[in-house]
């Protein structure tokens, strides 16, 4: 445990022993999966550093920001608009959810058949090991799937600063009206929390910063489609995960540096695997940090991931927010329009998600799709069946995986993934 940060973690009320265990497990997982990869771009060094300091230096930065009067807002979902948060000079961070922790305690509060993502969020809270959650001045829960919606009722007993945002379930006029009402209410809540009135100049600036982050990832997504593929899916996933934690301007610069390097690699036809390696598109539930299990299995089985139809990936960053409005009202409308296009499986019907997947198969020139569903995630598991049917009808090989955050099924998954890659060769 780094002595430098011990006092900081203590001041946040973390359980130092449990936190130390978590950091060791995180470090070992990272070492085993990331540091054994060959031929990574030098620019990934920045992301290695961020990972080594994800509970250290980054938390210190957040605490320094708080001392300087800024507020920290934590979120579990890409429906929380960062533009509004930044416009009020606050910081948005993703909350820890990618690994099992304190499961015995969690299952005293939640049914066993709750998805790993929700259980993990509770495990980090109950185990007192998430410095992001403990630094947050406001925690935003969103009424998306039933699991999250109901678990926030329980979370409300564990934290004093939960703000619940309602989210529509249909892409209808009424649905958009609901999103608008909720984003206006959120804007007011953020203004109240920060004491800052959001004007058009502030909102424009917030939109510009978030759009720049998205543009950098868009560029990265285009570059990694080259043949041979210049960046591993694991590294692309890491970048997409760090998206939710890092200081946004620094993050954008760091992604752009990796992009410059990828351009050179493409000119030299330098890939992470030789030309002709099977190209996989992943689609489904988000993979929160440090959930790398499935991508690691795929990329140690001779294939390369070329895209993610996921909220930690394309679904989360797909559209920019129109910055051309001149008033707060116009800019808020643009924000609502942008987020209303997120094709999460909580929507019904959700045909546009299927179109997104088909489009990505084409643009990424994927040889097959692996649909990733977390056990007990009804929205994505239900959709995985129609996704598979539609893709198979177009002769796009598809593999449906249902898993959790444990490593118990690794060998079984490896057998299925290897067989699938063999099939699409
Ligand atoms: S916009 S995908 S980030 S809700 S895995 S908790 S859906 S039972 S995470 Fe999500 Fe927002 Fe949608 Fe994206 Fe529920 Fe499924 Fe668990 Fe999930």
Residue 1: pLDDT over 60:
no
Atom of ligand 1 nearest to the CA of 144: 4
Query: Is any ligand 1 atom within 6 A of the Cβ of residue 147?
Result: yes
d(CA 169, CA 175): 7
Task: Assess whether the C-beta atom of 377 lies below 6 angstroms from ligand 1.
Answer: yes
Distance (angstroms) between ligand 1 centre and the Cα of 65 equals 29
- Phi then psi dihedrals of residue 308, to 5 deg: -130, 115
Provide the pLDDT for residue 205.
98
The alpha-helical segments, DSSP class H, found in 136-247 are: 146-158, 173-194, 200-223, 233-242
Q: Are 373 and 380 in contact (CB under 8 A)?
A: yes
Q: Is the CB of 140 under 6 A from ligand 1?
A: no
Report how far residue 333's alpha carbon sits from residue 1's, in angstroms, rounded to the nearest whole number: 47
What kind and span of H or E run contains 411?
A: helix 410-424
Tokens of 10: 């203590």
Q: What is the DSSP letter of 40?
A: -
Closest CA to 222 of 253, 249, 256, 246: 256
User: Taking 80 as the threshold, does the pLDDT of residue 92 lie above it?
Assistant: yes
Atom number of ligand 1 nearest to Cα 285: 5
pLDDT tens digits, one per residue of 141-166 = 999 999 999 999 999 999 999 999 99
Question: Residue whose CA is closest, atom 4 of ligand 1?
Answer: 144
Q: What pLDDT is stored for residue 233 in this prediction?
A: 98
> pTM (2 decimals)?
0.97
- For residues 48-69, average pLDDT: 97
Could you tell me which residues come within 8 angstroms of residue 33 by beta carbon, excluding any fewer than 6 positions away?
Answer: 234, 292, 296
Specify the residue with its C-alpha closest to ligand 1, atom 7: 145
Residue with tokens 């249909």: 170
Mean pLDDT of 293-310: 98
| pLDDT band at 421; cut points 50, 70, 90 | very high
For the Cβ of 303 lying below 6 angstroms from any atom of ligand 1, the answer is: no
Cβ of 346 less than 6 Å from ligand 1: yes
C-alpha distances (whole Å) from 326 to each of 329, 333, 395 are 8, 11, 47
* Strands 278-284 vs 368-374: parallel, antiparallel or unpaired: parallel
Mean pLDDT of the chain: 97
Find out whether the beta carbon of 77 lies less than 6 Å from any atom of ligand 1: yes
User: Which of 139, 45, 93, 53 minimizes the C-alpha distance to 248?
Assistant: 93
Evaluate: CB of 374 within 6 angstroms of ligand 1: yes
Share of the chain above pLDDT 70, in %: 99
pLDDT score of 26 more than 60: yes
Distance CA 98, CA 84 (A): 26
Rounded CA separation 137/97 (Å): 18
CATH numbers and ranges of domains, the chain: 3-196 (3.40.50.11890), 204-320+344-424 (3.40.50.11900)
Q: How far apart are CA 350 and CA 423, in angstroms?
A: 29
**Which of 190, 324, 282 minimizes the C-alpha distance to 198?**
190
Annotate 410-422 with b (16+ C-beta within 10 A) or e (fewer).
eeebeeebbebbe
Q: What is the pLDDT of residues 323-345, one digit of tens each?
A: 999 999 999 999 999 999 999 99
Report CA(10)–ligand 1 centroid distance (Å). Answer: 31
Instruction: Give 2's pLDDT tier (boundaries 50, 70, 90).
Output: low
Q: Distance from first CA to last CA of the chain, Å, rounded?
A: 45
Q: Indicate which atom in ligand 1 lies nearest the CA of residue 145.
A: 14
Alpha carbon of 42 to ligand 1 centroid (Å): 33
Nearest CA among 169, 345, 342, 371 for reference residue 281: 371
The one-character DSSP state at 35 is: T
**Is 230 strand, coil or helix?**
coil
Query: What pLDDT sits at residue 425?
Result: 87
**DSSP state, residue 152:** H
The model's pLDDT over 170-212, given as tens digits with 9 standing for 90+, comes to: 999 999 999 999 999 999 999 999 999 999 999 999 999 999 9
Per-residue pLDDT tens over the stretch 97-116:
899 999 999 999 999 999 99
């Amino acid at each position: 445990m780094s002595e430098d940060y011990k006092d900081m973690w203590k001041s946040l009320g973390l359980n130092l022993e449990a936190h130390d265990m978590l950091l060791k497990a995180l470090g070992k997982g990272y070492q085993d999966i990331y540091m054994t990869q060959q031929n990574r771009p030098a620019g990934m060094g920045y992301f290695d550093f961020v990972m080594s300091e994800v509970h250290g230096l980054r938390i210190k930065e957040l605490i320094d920001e708080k001392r300087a009067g800024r507020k920290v807002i934590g979120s579990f979902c890409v429906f929380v608009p960062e533009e509004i948060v930044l416009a009020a000079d606050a910081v948005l961070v993703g909350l820890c959810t990618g690994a099992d922790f304190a499961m015995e305690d969690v299952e005293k509060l939640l049914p066993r058949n709750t998805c790993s993502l929700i259980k993990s969020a509770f495990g980090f809270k109950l185990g007192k090991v998430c410095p992001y959650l403990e630094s947050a001045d406001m925690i935003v829960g969103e009424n998306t799937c039933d699991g999250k919606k109901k678990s926030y009722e329980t979370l409300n007993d564990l934290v004093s600063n939960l703000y619940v945002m309602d989210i529509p379930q249909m892409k209808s006029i009424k649905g958009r009206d609901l999103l608008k009402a909720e984003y206006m209410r959120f804007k007011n809540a953020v203004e109240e929390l920060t004491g800052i009135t959001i004007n058009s100049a502030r909102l424009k600036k917030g939109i510009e910063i978030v759009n720049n982050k998205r543009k950098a990832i868009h560029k990265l997504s285009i570059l990694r489609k080259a043949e041979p593929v210049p960046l591993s899916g694991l590294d692309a996933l890491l970048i997409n995960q760090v998206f939710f934690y890092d200081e946004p301007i620094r993050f954008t610069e760091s992604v752009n540096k990796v992009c410059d390097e990828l351009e050179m690699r493409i000119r030299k036809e330098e890939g992470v695997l030789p030309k002709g390696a099977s190209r996989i598109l992943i689609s489904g539930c988000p993979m929160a940090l440090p959930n790398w299990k499935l991508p690691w299995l795929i990329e140690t089985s001779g294939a390369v991931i070329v895209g993610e139809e996921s909220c930690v990936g394309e679904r989360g960053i797909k559209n920019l927010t129109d910055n051309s409005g001149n008033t707060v009202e116009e800019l808020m409308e643009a924000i609502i329009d942008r987020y209303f296009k997120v094709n999460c499986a909580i929507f019904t019907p959700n045909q546009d998600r299927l179109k997104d997947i088909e489009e990505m198969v084409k643009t990424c020139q994927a040889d097959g799709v692996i649909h990733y569903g977390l056990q007990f995630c009804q929205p994505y598991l239900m959709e995985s069946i129609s996704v598979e049917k539609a893709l198979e009808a177009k002769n796009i090989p598809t593999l449906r995986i249902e898993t959790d955050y444990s490593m118990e099924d690794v060998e079984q998954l490896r057998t299925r993934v290897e067989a699938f890659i063999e099939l699409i060769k």
